[in-house]
Amino acid sequence: MVMQLTAKQSIHLPRTAELIRVEKLSDREKVFEFKFDDGKELGQKPGQFVEVSIFGVGEAPISVTSSPTHKGSFELAVRATGGVTNKLHTLEKGAKAGIRGPFGNGFPIDTLKGKDILFVAGGIGLFPLRSLINYVMDKRSDFGEVNTLFGCRSPQERLFIGQLAEWDKSKDMCFLETVDRVPDDEWKGNVGVITTLFPKISFDPKKTYAIVVGPPIMYRFVIAECLKKGLADDHIIMSLERRMKCGVGKCGHCQINGLYCCQEGPVFTYAQVKSLKEAV
């Protein structure tokens, strides 16, 4: 007998997808492009994530790094850190994986339409943010001025190098990047933490939303800079990663003071989380 799945049941069942491209980004990171076996779109919003299953190993939450304006397939950029991600890094074109989702709230596109945007990405924070940056670039006339800041630890840890070069040349955004330290003198760009880029940009805090994604330590300093520049608490938007299991509000692993990060987040405004001790 063929079992009919209800919408509620299907959020727990992965759909199979084929790996159609693998690209090395750095020593620890690769981008994986998948296509569903049923030919359907993922249908994500920028900032949403999926649960990726590697059969026989387990599942891990991974942000979708491609924009929904890119049709027919989707990209996941992954750092090899543990069981699932290390196994994923061994897969080659033609391999199959299971995908549940998309999950989470994603970035508030409707709020951002017509506004100026300041993107601030630290390290692999670029993975979720890239989906929104690419979306904004593909629908450029829907948005105002765009400033993008990217920082990582060393030149060897820069990600999506070809795309960084395109953003650098683009007349549609002001793009600045920095590295924390330089082990060799090949690098001719900025050196210093990401907040050292703030004095080099200007924006109108009334019309601007900052979208900040990076390691936990970065939030404290970047939020302080944003506030110093006059941005209101609800104009500072961030994506928070927490340990997640189910991705659908059932297991409680992702809770921050009673907030379910997998469902109410991972995207929050600073106004929403500033009083939550564990959030930032």
User: Is residue 27 at the binding interface for ligand FAD, with CB under 6 A as the rule?
Assistant: no
Kindly state the tokens that stand for 43. 């249908």
User: Is residue 118 at the binding interface for ligand FES, with CB under 6 A as the rule?
Assistant: no
Kindly state the tokens that stand for 51. 């649960």
Angle value at C-alpha 15, between 11 and 19, nearest 5 degrees: 140
User: Is residue 58 at the binding interface for ligand FES, with CB under 6 A as the rule?
Assistant: no
> Mapping DSSP to helix (H, G, I), strand (E, B) and coil, where does residue 88 land?
helix
* Residue 77 binding partner per list ligand FES, ligand FAD, none, with a CB distance cut-off of 5 to 8 Å that depends on partner kind: ligand FAD
- Report the alpha-carbon distance of residue 194 to residue 216 in Å, rounded: 13
Residue of 260, 266, 267, 279 that binds ligand FES (CB under 6 A): 260
Binding mask 96-135 for ligand FAD (x = CB under 6 A): ----------------------------x--xx-------
Adjacent-strand bridge partners of 31: 23, 77
* Residue 125 binding partner per list ligand FES, ligand FAD, none, with a CB distance cut-off of 5 to 8 Å that depends on partner kind: none
User: Is residue 268 at the binding interface for ligand FES, with CB under 6 A as the rule?
Assistant: no
* All residues at 6 or more sequence positions from 171 whose CB lies less than 8 Å from its CB, including other chains: none
- Report the alpha-carbon distance of residue 215 to residue 233 in Å, rounded: 19
User: Is residue 212 at the binding interface for ligand FES, with CB under 6 A as the rule?
Assistant: no
Give the type of residue at 15: R
List residues near ligand FAD by CB under 6 A: 49, 58, 60-63, 77-79, 81-85, 124, 127-128, 241-244, 266
